[in-house]
Amino acid sequence: MKIEIKKSQKPIKYEDALSLMEKRLHEIDKNKSNDLIWILEHDEIYTAGKTYKEDEIIDKSIKIFRSNRGGKITYHGPGQLICYFVLDLKKRKKDIRKFISVIEKTIIETLNYYQINSFPDKDNIGVWYDDDTEIKKIAAIGVRVSKWIAYHGFSINIKNNLEKYNAIIPCGITDRGITNLKNIKDQNYDNIENILIEKFISNLKSLNA
């Protein structure tokens, strides 16, 4: 299955990214386009998934974009790697849980490359890091499936402003923190998107029917 790899150098508006993914979804459904993996950044924005609650907004002055993805409220901004995808599960195994595991495995293997140990949690979607004082989220995942085509994506905090999360209860979780890679280990992450894409494509093979 051919996958188009797209890398945007300039920040992409959240609404524009959603429109492109939905357009691609309809094209894939009609066999008019290839699957897509898209690496980008967003300018500052708070987005809410379908299961968020109003009391998860601490600072009522912030603007929330209500999205059709799964999950709750999160923050996107400079210094955060976004990986969006539009992937046809009809041509793979129709197994959403396995697909989420592929994403988690991809993120964990990518961070392992940088000697950072992270882990999934069966009760809280995402990828986590234990700094010996608190378990903190390093990567968020939000997926939607339509016509057995999976889209939206995941984000990895690299050097984003963590104070922005104080305005919300990130992902609705109150007893855990948020961190980024620069806080964990201050090193060069310039090549992380290429490592991530390589791992993602490799791990997607486990879904081949």
Please give the positions annotated as active site: 171
Give the CB-side neighbour count of residue 205, counting CA atoms within 13 A. Answer: 6
Question: Cα–Cα distance between 184 and 106 in angstroms, integer?
Answer: 19
**Residues 202, 116 contacting (CB under 8 angstroms):** no
Q: Is 209 helix (H, G, I), strand (E, B) or coil?
A: coil
The alpha carbon dihedral of 52, 56, 18, 204 has a sign of negative
Q: In what order do the strands lie in the sheet with 64-66?
A: 64-66, 45-48, 73-76
- Nearest alpha-carbon partner for 127 in 103, 96, 153: 103
The strand pair at 149-157 and 135-146 is best described as antiparallel
Dist. CA 199–CA 97, nearest whole Å: 18
Residues in the chain: 209
